[in-house]
Structure 1
Amino acid sequence: MDVQQRILALRKQLDTYAYEYYVLDQPSVPDAEYDQAYQELLKLEDTYPQYRDPNSITQRVGGVVLDAFTKVTHKQQMLSLSNAFNLEDLQAFDERVRSIVPKVSYVVELKMDGLAISLHYHDGRFVQAVTRGDGFVGEDVTNNVRTIASIPMHIERMGDVEVRGEVFMPKKSFAELNAQREKNGEDVFANPRNAAAGSIRQLDSKIAASRKLDAFLYYYEDALGAGIQTHEEALETMEQLHIKVNPLRRVCNSMDEVWSFIQEMSEQRNDLPYEIDGMVIKVNELTAWEQLGTTVKAPRYAIAYKFPAEEVVTKLLDIVLTVGRTGRITPNAVLAPVRVAGTSVSAAQLHNEDMIKEKDIRIQDDVVVRKAGDIIPEVVRPLLDRRNGTQARYVFPKECPVCGSALVRLSDEAAHYCINQDCPARVVESIIHFASRDAMDIDTLGDKKVEFFHKEGLLNTIEDIYHLKDHKETILQMEGFKERSYQKLIDAIEASKQNPLEDLVYGLGIRQVGKKAAKVLAKHFLTMEKLMAASEEELVAIKDIGDITAQSIVAFFREPKNVELIDHLRGFGLRMDSEEEIIQESMFTGKTVVLTGSLQQMTRNEAKELLESLGANVSGSVSKKTDLVIYGEAAGSKLTKAQSLGVATMDEATFLQEVKTS
């Protein structure tokens, strides 16, 4: 096949993909496969300009406009964005920008995976909503957008106001919708983006209302004409008008800062209640937008960073259960080994029975797999069109796969539990947790060694850890152990006895008590005895300890076996107290403080630790209860909100001076 034929074939293939994605809302391939074909076509057209075509998908913005709604011509074209796939692409963008406007800052925002929308207000009233369509002509979806509760029908601003953003479907709404569709015998949506697009295009607004859509707005049309100088100021103005803007954004002064925020959000991506497919970087100064201008299809003052495409297809061979230290049962997919983001993946957590049902995952399915947060493998969805009748629905067992005890599912939880305290799997996992780095930090007693000692009959309870020194001869006869390695193990076990109370509290594995809660409890009660005697009322009164956590703590210490365990650990010489934290009295003592903006003399975490040592409670959000906001460079909406509420503010230089005199 010659170059011209390859270009024509790619265009035809990508047109089919675009129709399936944008019109039918039923993509047939993962994003990675689409991106690969698109980049190949783009490269060929750049290399052989004689074969360029204005009708090529690379020259168009958006997809085909559906005929079901009234068409509306946009006053200003709704542009697409050029893509960046790595740091080098972003640095090249930065160089292009600074070659024209040397001094700029950037606003970095989340790139929502939804449907682009334009909202129009006249004299404070919502009058119209239009989809992007092909960028020039969109669809009037006003009635459907009216059903989205987060979009205001009135704003405090006269004249004509247009704001643009993204309509999306939250993960929870998506799960509920697909569960209901499956119950009704309907085809499920492949992802929240398709579900949002399908919902906003419903002719019956009642259907759209039932889908529980949401929206974030991120662009104020003609902000300069409204006297606004920066994009961040435009976003803050929209917030003041009660227009929903995503608070997860940052003003950055360099591409290094931009990249740092991208990495930070990439790690949090899968914990968000909605899907994002990248980050958007925009020049902050609006006058620079006019200087930089646009190409035919994209602005030169903004670029979209796309998260690495890491979706691959493999076969789900089986589903097996594992038992955690609390007895929680976790189903896991056994996969035909496949390479994802540089490593071989052969298993992925399925979390619980509900997830398997909601995604309609079946044994022998071909499934799309990716790495959540670039680390944890997950099954995204089954490929329904590849089923051939050999796939089997998974029936969740009623008995523990390890000890055979009946499994229990609590009314307020999605997980099943083995409630047999002596279940061998629970024993091993509880010992592994107790010895882990965040708990008692017995670094020579890792997972494999715990499993080995358990199999040999030396570790059946947490107490047995401190009896290992009594089995020296037996251990030295085991494969892989010599005098030196044995002594290193025993020394680490003995050293753990001096760990502070918070490590022991976390190591006990009390449900709902993580590392942070363990530290809070140890700091508050100072001794194990006082913690064990605490009532639910006393516990709930502590900041960061909620009702469920309090109930779990009280229930744990009511259990005779747990009290006996602590008595034994005390007998072994483990530390049962914590040193009282000495708070240096200062002007910050007892005050609720919020940090915002870029600090120059220290990191945000260093400032937080310093404030806490001075007796302050550091919060992440500004409210009427906030006593002080300390701000650095490029402080945004938090500083604005503090000023509007009359909250005291302090710049970084003044803060450091106050610290010196404290």
Structure 2
Amino acid sequence: MELNQAKERIEQLIEEINVHNYKYYVESNPSISDYDFDMLLKELETLETQFPEFAFDYSPSKRVGGDITKKFETVKHVYPMLSLSNTYSEDEIIDWENRIKKIADGDLEYVCELKYDGVAIGIRYDNGVLSQAVTRGDGTQGENITSNVRTIKSVPLKLKGNYPDTFEIRGEIFFPLEKFAALNREREDLGESVFANPRNSASGTLKLQDSKIVASRGLDSYLYGVYGATQFAEGHYEMVQLAGAWGFKIPPAEKRFIAKVNSIEGIMAFIHYWDEHRKQLPFEIDGVVIKVNNYRQQEELGFTAKSPRWAIAYKFKTERAETTLLSINYQVGRTGAITPVANLTPVHLGGTTVKRASLHNSDQMEKFDLHVNDAVFVEKGGEIIPKIVGVNIEKRDPNALKFEFIHQCPECGSELVRTEGEAQHFCPNDVACPPQMKGKIEHFIGRKAMDVDGLGAETVQLLFDKGLIKNSADLYDLTFDQLIDLDRMAEKSANNLLLGLKASREVPFERVLFALGIRYVGETVAKKLAKHFKSLENIRTATELELILVDEIGERIAQSVRSYFDKPEHLELINRLKMAGLQFETAAKEATSDKLEGKSFVVSGVFTSFSRDELKVLIEDNGGKNVSSISKKTDFVIAGENMGPSKLQKATELNITILSEDDFIKLLNS
């Protein structure tokens, strides 16, 4: 066979096999026998062996696996994979809907979807060909598992139709219950331990180094979230249907896996239907997801620091089990918070064996009046963290001893304190209590703080145990000779750690402030304090009243900040970090001013020269404040194309100045 003939036949076989794959794995409607399909695939593999120059990456022969991956590369997400806010309460769904109706302009439509109990994945396509698949990870970055995802038959390697040049699609990879049961039967026959549940098994399978094993297990997927191509449709539901036309396996509307509704009654009907029928599904779900459909309204609603405002997950009530409470241990967190943890007789719950459960705080212990060997009811909070939810009093031994909450820190012996209004007890010894010391260092190096490359929790533990570090400032005194002597620390790892510490000296002030681990000073509060005071010295010398006067800084935060800087040990730590070269001042911006000081803005619509986010940055850089909804306190509305008519009407009724994009620029330049 000549080259041209071979190439033509290979391309013809790829197209034909892809069609049959789609019919079998997506439509569940095969059009040829398994034997005929195998013959087509065998012919393709033979030709690709004879003509390797035509063995394309999108060939269905790649699905059989065979790649060996020693280590999965870490990849940063182009679009962060934020988690959704969760609730078990229908009342909270109603509150959520009422809340967003006050902010979003116009009538709202909602998309209701199943919450698949699997592994979240983001898959990138370039020119219609699968180019990369990345796990959720921590939401900012995940692991590149492309070779394993290629083996999943319901994930297309090459698209059809009028698709965007480059985009990402997200969804869930899961273990069908039938395949999971078959895998466990096979393991039992071989005398191997069975897997606990489909979700964990799907996650573990995707992390296997041999993609051939991944291919053999029969994972499946539903893909439903398109990013980087929203101009192709006005809303999420319409985009999902479009993705189906490109060849993706999307949730079928005819099976009620996805539905578009326009009322809270429609949302509740979807929740109630699947709460009743979920056991009939061939895979596991743990709830439903509700999203605002329209992309413009999604943008208008925006995000909190952790999740989108335009979506929420309703989780079904969890499985409950009864077991015996044997003892209670006490854990010390980074902030010194003391958490009681119950040790239980092992019990099977939600696909896993539960041996420990959180009791949260002393009030929770007192509420249940816990005694030794009590029969307790355990649930999985959020399907992840087990918790005690009740006691079977009828089974209590009348002579059993009651558990009393501790008075001293179990790690350092310090007397515990509890502030009025606080739920938890705290160990106040934040400079010498080992778990707090290690926890603060781990927080300091975290990705949203100093983001020290080459340094993780295990290395911190090792450095701490060897006495090389006791606080975050000690990190900057580490030398190559000290590191190279440590177990499992090779020359390259030592150099990477030192380079990571060097690079962290360029981290901006607001993240350095967050990295210090001041109680109640999270990412958002750190940004507000850094922006207002400009330097750590100004924050250190600020009075409690001056701190409270900062927008959204309350009395509790102000007291915590003031208390932190009143400790000499903290001031010594800061001085050492300054000497190490960390940024303790806000870098000056060329285009900043106070022209918009005291003025509040609502930005709405689509703009020509700037994005909405860029306009918001300009407002804040020039002293203004961004607000989400129009009220009497709003000074200006910057109106772009497609601004909602009701917002425009409300601004007019309240006599609020409406600016075009050009008007706003003139205002800044005046």
TM normalised by structure 2 equals: 0.49
Taking structure 1 as the reference length, the TM-score comes to 0.50
